[in-house]
Amino acid sequence: MAAVISIFVLVFFYLIGVLHFSPAEWSEFGDFMAGAAGVILTALTFLALLYTVHIQTTELGLSRNELRLTRGEMMQNREELARSAQALDQQVNAIKVQNFERTLFDSLRFLNEVVDQFEYQSPVEDRPRKGAQAFFSMYHLIAHPNFGLGALGAEDGDQIGAHQPLNQALDRLRPLLATYFRTLYNIYRFLNESPYAERVYYNRIIRSQIPDHAMAILFYNSLTERGIKFQKYIVKYNILDNIPHELLLNPHHAEIMENLPTEAAEQVEIGEG
């Protein structure tokens, strides 16, 4: 293209009489062309510079758009990852809750199986009682007037736990009650150590599995040295809130129940700490 343009320029200048073949005129023409070429090259260089700036501006705009799109995709990916992480956490928590409930309900099932194996006949009965009805017979063994628990008032709270006839009666019942109380204690310990906030809901389920007469036996057993550790769970989870007060061997024993844990139980807690 440069050669073709040069030929056309030479022909044009020759036709208008500017270009001649004498050496002097060639010298003048050369000076003219040098000056004209400098101007033209400068203009072309400036235009090329403008075109380069235009190209760079366009590429910069495209790069910005691409970065904006990339940033948008990264934001979407980040949100998607956050949603995936949240869904995964919910799934993990759901699995943990399922495992907790499975363990809890398996423990309650075992507790009921222990109760189903109960068979006890109190001295004043003519036939043994089985299952949950056996708690009725076991309670009446403790409530027998010969043991004298009814004569101990609220001020004798510490003496009730150390009362020898009560401990003798519980020793007679221990082959039946030891597994029951141990399982019930571990159920509440498992509930207490769980990280779930629905303890109130699960506590209601557990409490519904404890018959009234079993609550009365649990209360008096918790005053003894062997059952004193249960007092912290009795208080924390209000296990005895629904116990009928007529099952208390003395109406004043309600004051002892309301003031749990006893000083002896608090000393046990301090010693464990």
Q: pLDDT (tens digit, 9 = 90+) per residue, 210-249?
A: 999 999 999 999 988 889 999 999 999 999 988 998 999 8
pLDDT > 90 in the chain, percent:
34
Q: If pLDDT is split at 50, 70 and 90, which confidence band does 19 have?
A: low
- pLDDT of 76-115, one tens digit each? 888 888 888 888 888 888 888 889 999 999 999 999 999 9
Encode burial over 92-118: b for 16+ CB neighbours within 10 A, e otherwise.
Answer: eeeeeeeebeeebeebbeebeebbeeb
Average pLDDT over residues 24-47: 72
Rounded distance, CA 11 to CA 19, Å? 8
Co-location of 247 and 186 in the same domain:
yes
Q: If pLDDT is split at 50, 70 and 90, which confidence band does 204 have?
A: very high
- pLDDT of 123-164, one tens digit each? 878 899 999 999 999 998 888 887 777 777 666 556 777 788
Backbone angles phi, psi at 224, to 5 degrees: -85, 170
Please tell me the number of Cα atoms within 13 Å of 149 on its side-chain side: 33
pLDDT of res. 3? 72
pLDDT of res. 190? 94
pLDDT at 207 over 50: yes
| DSSP-derived 3-state class of residue 129 | strand
Co-location of 70 and 132 in the same domain:
no
Average pLDDT, the chain: 84
34 or 99: which leads in pLDDT: 99
Q: If pLDDT is split at 50, 70 and 90, which confidence band does 21 have?
A: low
75's tokens:
């934001």
Asked if residue 16 is part of any domain, the answer here is no
Q: Which residues lie below 8 Å from residue 203, measured CB to CB, with a gap of 6+?
A: 191, 237, 238
Helices of type H across the chain? 2-15, 23-116, 134-142, 157-162, 164-193, 199-207, 212-222, 231-236, 253-258, 263-272
Exposed/middle/buried for 190, CB within 10 Å: 0-12, 13-18, 19+? middle
Co-location of 130 and 265 in the same domain:
yes
- Tell me, letter by letter, the H, E, C secondary structure of 78-128: HHHHHHHHHHHHHHHHHHHHHHHHHHHHHHHHHHHHHHHCCEECCCCCCCC
Average pLDDT over residues 253-259: 86
Backbone angles phi, psi at 119, to 5 degrees: -155, 115
Co-location of 197 and 80 in the same domain:
no
pLDDT at 73 over 60: yes
pLDDT at 24 over 70: no
206's tokens:
């557990």
Q: Which domain holds residue 76?
A: 22-87
Asked if residue 5 is part of any domain, the answer here is no
Asked if residue 166 is part of any domain, the answer here is yes
Average pLDDT over residues 255-260: 86
Asked if residue 112 is part of any domain, the answer here is no
Rounded distance, CA 95 to CA 101, Å? 10
Asked if residue 36 is part of any domain, the answer here is yes
- pLDDT of 188-202, one tens digit each? 999 999 887 688 999
Average pLDDT over residues 27-46: 73
| DSSP-derived 3-state class of residue 194 | coil
229's tokens:
């550790």
CB atoms within 10 A of CB 57: 10
Co-location of 61 and 182 in the same domain:
no
pLDDT of res. 40? 79
Co-location of 62 and 176 in the same domain:
no
Average pLDDT over residues 1-18: 72
Co-location of 261 and 147 in the same domain:
yes
Co-location of 149 and 238 in the same domain:
yes
Asked if residue 162 is part of any domain, the answer here is yes
Q: What angle do CA 233, 238, 242 make, to 5 degrees?
A: 135
pLDDT of res. 273? 44
Co-location of 141 and 241 in the same domain:
yes
- pLDDT of 116-133, one tens digit each? 999 999 887 889 999 999
Asked if residue 209 is part of any domain, the answer here is yes
Number of domains comprising the chain: 2
